[in-house]
Structure 1
C-alpha cells in the first residue's frame, strides 16, 4: 500500500491538491490560511497563500497595500520610516518630522548620520569647523559665539598664550598683572611650587611663594636664623642692627623672655639683669 499524504490538520488527502508546508508538515491551503495567515493592516482582508506577505513589527500587509500613509507611494521596494505605527516614505517623513540641519537648514532624513550638540542637529558633513571647514566628526571641538571650531583653529584664532611656556591656554589659566599663564606654569621662581590659590608676591617680574621671598629678602633672626619681619608676621624686635622674633628675644643664658624688660649685651649675647651680674 502507498504511504498516506494527508493534511496535518484536517487529514484530507492532498493528492492532486495544492498544499504548503509548516514546520515540515503539509497543510491544505484552507487549513494553512485559517491557522497561519494574517489579515492585512490596510484592507483587513486575509493575506492568502498566493499573496506576498510584508511584515513589520508583527504587523502584516499585502505588498500592494504597503504604502506611505501620507502620499500613498508603494513602500515594498524602498526605504521607509514609521511614525505612530504608520509607515511613511522617507521623503514624507523627513518633510514632516525630521530634524533640520543647523547649517544647511535642510531636513536630516532617516538613515543619515546625525550629529547633535546642545539641542542642535547637523548632517555629518555639515558639522564642520567654522574656520577650516573640515568635518569635525567625533573629534574634540570648542564653541565661540555660537560657532564650532576644531581645536587647532580655536587655538590659532582665540587662545591666549602662556607667558611661561608660550603654548595656548585651553583649560585652566591664571592671570596676573594682565598676563596669562597655565595654572601649572604659574609657579614660584625658586622652589617651583604652584602659586594659584595661595598668597604670593613678586619682585623684578619674578613671582615667589611667601616662604621663598622671606628666606631670600628678609633678615634672619639672631637667635633661630629664620627670617623675621616676614609677610606672614610683622612682629619682631630690632636692636643694634640685629633682629629677633618676639619669642626668640630671650636671655642667652637662662632663656628668660626679655620682651618689655631690661637687658644688657655682652659681645653677641643678650642677658637679663640677673645673668649680666655674673657675666
Structure 2
C-alpha cells in the first residue's frame, strides 16, 4: 500500500491494517465509500438514498443501482394492501382495481378468504358465491350507507335500510340504536324523543304513555296523582285544590272545610252554603219541622226568615204581621 494514499472522501490516510475499497481507480475507507444519491448528493454507502438514514442491521433493498431502507423501498415500489393498509411483500392479490394480502381479501359478509376460491363483485364489494346467492334471493340486508351486511337490528331512515350506529341523536349526540325515533327529519334517542313529544309526570318527571290526568296545571300518571295529605291516589274521585296542592274530599274538609251550622263539625260530602252559613247537605233542614230542604240532585228550596231556613208550609203558617216585622228588623 502506498504510504501517501489517502481516502477520496475524507482525505485522511489509511491505517496499516485497514481495509481499503478500490472503485473506479479511487480508494475509500469502508465507512466513506459513497454512491451518488438524489440531487447529486454524496452519501455514505450504508445510508438510504431516500431518507439518508443508515441501514439497520445492514439490511437494504437495491433498485436500479440505488440502495433503499425497507420502509422507503416498500413505500416507493411495493403495493399497499386495501384491506389492512400495510405494504404487500410477496404474493399480491390484484382485484377490483386494488392490491391485497391474500389473507386480507375476504368476503365482506362471511369473511371467508377469497384468494383461492374466486369472488363475485356486488354493490362495489367482494362476496363469496354463497353470500352473493343470498343477496340475490333477498335473505341478506345491506346498509345503504356503508354497503356492509346488516346482522341483527336495522334502521329505516329516509326510505333506506342502514346500521343505526352510523347516526347520533340530534339532541344529546349519543350514538343511536334501532329504538331511536324520527321527528321532522331528525333522529333522536328514545329519551330525548319522549321528552320532546310526551307529557311529563308532575311527580316522577318521566314521560307519560297511555292514560294521563290533567290537574294543577300539570300532567300526571294516574297512580302518581295523590292527595297531598294522605297520599292516596284519587283514582277518578273528585279532588280539591288549595295553594297549588290537591286534597281528597275528606282531608280537604278536615283541614280547610267550613263547619256545619247544625252539627258544628267540618262538612263531609256535599254541602249547602246559604244565608252566610254552611250546612252538611243532610243537615240543611227546616228550622220548624226539620224536613230536609236540599235535594241530593242539587239545589235547595227554602224561605228565609230571621236568617233561618224554613220550608214553604211552615213559612206560610207564620202570621203575615210577624213576617213583616222580622223582615223590617233584618233590614
Q: TM-score range by the shorter chain?
A: 0.3 to 0.5
In terms of fraction of residues, the more helix-rich structure is 2
In terms of fraction of residues, the more strand-rich structure is 1
